Amino acid sequence: MIGKCRRIQKRIPALLDAELPPKMTSAIKRHLDICPDCRRYLAATSQAWALLAESEKIAPRNDFDALFWGKAREFSIPLKSRPGGIWARIPIPAIAAAGFLLGIAGGFFLGKVAFIDKQAPATQVISPPINGIFPYLDTFADFPKDSVGGAYIAVAPQSGGSARRGGDKW
Amino acid sequence: MEKRAADLDDSLIRKFKSGEEEAFSEILGRYKNLVLNIAYRFLRDRTEAEDVAQDVFLKIYRSARTYKPKAKLSTWVYKITANVCLNRLRSEKNAAKSVSYDRQDPADTGSPLFVGSSPGRFSPSEELERNERLTVIHDALQCLPAKQRLALVLKRYEGLSYREIAEILGCSPAAVDSLLQRANGKLRKFLEPYFADRDASRKGRKS
């Protein structure tokens, strides 16, 4: 009975609103005839609705229409003739968003360029040693004999390295 | 009667579309009370309700010229009102999250919550009891979640059918039924102590 009552009580607002199909309406009415709990529920719902109905209506302010027409006329002035023109009508967040997107696009472009530059040395092919000497060490050959680079080249063969002797041209 | 009202709405919209601004004055006159009171019952604040009503009519004014009548004008007005009310509540919630402010009881601020209560119509004790009842009603409505409250306002105060409410809220009649079921359950629970107190005080007075 309790489960049935719960189901019936759920349908009571719809019953009072006359939103139920006739078959269900008559079944609920039959149940209400024999169930004091559901009748109490029905009475409490009606009581709550009666209280809600007491809520009063408010009236619009006297200047409601005038206020509306003021705003509406502002809207109907053509966009170009408004003070500040079209630019004044573009909201600040839209401008900020456009700037942000431009920044991202610009950053992406510049980042791509920088990325290519950084990647370039890594793609160089390392030449194999010729006669046990790496040809790219030749870059040191241009150092004058008394310079730090020249001193390194002079010292390197003594430490067992495979670099050529002295700062001579290779 | 309803058909005649719908026909009148249609002709007003047609006139407005053809450039007669006065037709919109009539639309405003026909619907401003309705829009204002839905907003007022939903938001519980007269000033906000006036703001919402202005917004609703501006939206209607802006889109009326491109409006294609798929449904009755009244349904369209209800729909816009419902959306503006729900958006207002949402933005109010967001504002409350970022700025903490205590909303004062309108009864304390002297805002005309109970407009229409004509002084002298009731005795002071009756007036007091009446004001208490109205506060209870408003509090009861505020205890409901936004959509349930809106469905209840449209049903109880506007007398719309479940199908019409469904069209306005963009859901099925079954969903409206469920919204109203839950709203009624909460309302009954909220009002139970009030009714118990009232009955007890009435019994006390009799004895």
Q: Could you read off the pLDDT of A27-58 as tens digits, one per residue?
A: 999 999 999 999 999 998 998 888 888 887 89
The Cα B118–Cα B101 span in angstroms is 32
Residue of B nearest to A14 (CA): B177
Residues 157-186, chain B: which have Cβ within 8 Å of A? 157, 161-162, 177, 180-181, 184
Q: Which amino acid, A140?
A: F
Q: What's the pLDDT at A149?
A: 65
B54/A58 touch (CB, cutoff 8 Å), yes or no: no
A42 and A16 in a common domain: yes
Q: Could you read off the pLDDT of A10-26 as tens digits, one per residue?
A: 999 999 999 999 999 99
A36 and A7 in a common domain: yes
Compare B61 and B19 and report the one with higher pLDDT: B61
Tell which CATH classification among 1.10.10.10, 1.10.3720.10, 1.20.1270.10, 3.40.800.20 matches the domain B122-207. 1.10.10.10
* Helices A2-16, B173-206: crossing angle, 10 deg rounding: 100
Assign residue A18 a region: left if phi > 0, alpha if psi is -120 to 50, beta otherwise? left
Q: Domain for residue A74, yes or no?
A: no
Q: Domain for residue A61, yes or no?
A: no
B28/A57 touch (CB, cutoff 8 Å), yes or no: no
Report ipTM (2 d.p.).
0.74
Instruction: Report the 10 Å Cβ neighbour count for A72.
Output: 18
A97 and A131 in a common domain: no
* Helices A2-16, A22-34: crossing angle, 10 deg rounding: 120
Q: Domain for residue A80, yes or no?
A: no
Residues of chain B positioned with their CB less than 8 A from the CB of A10: 181
The Cα A46–Cα A40 span in angstroms is 10
A110 and A134 in a common domain: no
Q: Report domain extents, chain B.
A: 1-99, 122-207
Domain of residue A111: give its range.
89-122
Q: Are A153 and A170 in contact (CB under 8 A)?
A: no
The Cα A44–Cα A50 span in angstroms is 10
Grade residue B1 by pLDDT with cuts at 50, 70 and 90: low
Three-state DSSP string of A63-125? CHHHHHHHHHHHHHCCHHHCCCHHHHHCCHHHHHHHHHHHHHHHHHHHHHHHHHHHHHHHCCC
Count of the separate structural domains present in chain A = 3
DSSP-assigned letter for residue B100: -
Q: What's the pLDDT at A72?
A: 86
Q: Domain for residue A33, yes or no?
A: yes
